[in-house]
Amino acid sequence: MRVRKTLSAKRLLLWFSLLVISLVMVLTGCKEKMERAEKVKNHYTVGIILAYNSPTSLQVLQGLQEKLEEYQRSSGQPLEIIVREAGGQVAVLPELVQGLAARANLLVPISTAALQAALIASSEQPVVFSSVANPYIVRAGRTAVDHDPRVTGVCSTAPIRQVLALIHQLLPAVRKIGTIWTPSEINSEYYLELMREAASELGLEIISQPIAGAGDIVQAVQALARDRVEVLFPVSDNTINANFQVIGKLAAENRLPLFAAFATGAELGACASMGFGFEDIGHKTAELVIRIKNGESPARIPFQYIDRVRFFVNQEAARKQGISFPESVLKKADRVLQTSDLDSAESRPRAAARSEG
């Protein structure tokens, strides 16, 4: 009898032990599943589409990456950042967007062309555009608050009117302004129209030369010189900004004052430039990415604009181009560059544009 009781007790203990082991295994498995689910939940991928490797686009990218890396350090929440570059080949943008859309939680197109591709080639992910002159011409919205519910971003409309007003102030006798523009870039055509409207209000005439690519710049500037333009003011687009130093050298050779509607134009050979800090645009774009990553709907975020216009003067370029600035104008400049500043700008390394995955 005692033997049977002992065996029953042993069996009961064995079954209890097996039950405990089974429960531990089940709970461990549940914990691992929860941890995996939490890891998937917390994994957030930002896909960046860089249409052009222009100086301005690279500055936007640099500012964007800096701010996102700062967020990761401060919050402890990792982000996977994937950059895809088209290298100016607009035709490949839809394919790049589709590839990113398969992996990314959110898309960041930099430039009008990249935004247009993102709107066409993706349908689910939130889109935070950056450095877009006019998002309305690609139907991202009707107003800053009435827009596609999955889209928001940062506009970068160049200060065309302010630059023309500066030219008129410095050179009141000038009437013929020469410009070059790139018809294949939708933002370039938009800027040309703005330039013509503003010039008409100031009694100025715009003489324009279209270019198909960087190889046409020399011929276009020479044609403007033959037309006896008195000032050069190229449209601020990706093709032209990426090759602005060439225009700076041609302006000096022809003794034509060169102005730019992007801030760093003075570093690349313009006698004066006005524009936004493109790293600031990148920072503001990152702030929108973080807000959406943390749960805010892009439908509730108005399109953003940069308020501060920076004003740079390049004294050495001005001397070569046959213009001087009165002290009253120099006092208003955010920065007055000398030859050493220009030399350092020419040797400045390319912003890091990491392509991952």
Task: Answer with the residue of higher pLDDT: 355 or 264.
Answer: 264
Taking a C-beta distance cutoff of 8 angstroms, is the pair 109, 148 a contact? no
For residue 176, the model assigns a pLDDT of 98
Q: What are phi and psi of 78, to 5 degrees?
A: -75, 150
Taking the C-alpha atoms of residue 85 and residue 312, their distance in angstroms, rounded to an integer, is 29
Residue 323 has pLDDT above 90, yes or no: yes
For residue 339, the model assigns a pLDDT of 61
Q: In what order do the strands lie in the sheet with 176-181?
A: 205-210, 176-181, 231-232
Cβ atoms < 10 Å from Cβ of 67: 19
Residues 121-147, mean pLDDT to the nearest whole number: 95
Residue 13 has pLDDT above 60, yes or no: yes
Residue 345 has pLDDT above 60, yes or no: no
Q: Which CATH superfamily is domain 160-276+308-346 in?
A: Response regulator (3.40.50.2300)
Q: Which two tokens stand for residue 334?
A: 């955010």
- Residue spans of the domains in the chain: they are 43-157+278-305, 160-276+308-346
Q: What is the pLDDT of residues 237-293, one digit of tens each?
A: 999 999 999 999 999 999 999 999 999 899 999 999 999 999 999 999 999 999 999
For residue 321, the model assigns a pLDDT of 97
Q: Confirm whether 43-157+278-305 and 160-276+308-346 share one CATH topology.
A: yes
Residue 213 has pLDDT above 90, yes or no: yes
SS3 label, residue 223: helix
Taking a C-beta distance cutoff of 8 angstroms, is the pair 134, 190 a contact? yes
CATH 3.40.50.2300 fits 43-157+278-305, yes or no: yes
- pTM reported for the whole predicted model: 0.80
Paired strand residues for 18 = none
Q: What is the pLDDT of residues 53-109, one digit of tens each?
A: 888 899 999 999 999 999 999 999 999 999 999 998 999 999 999 999 999 999 999
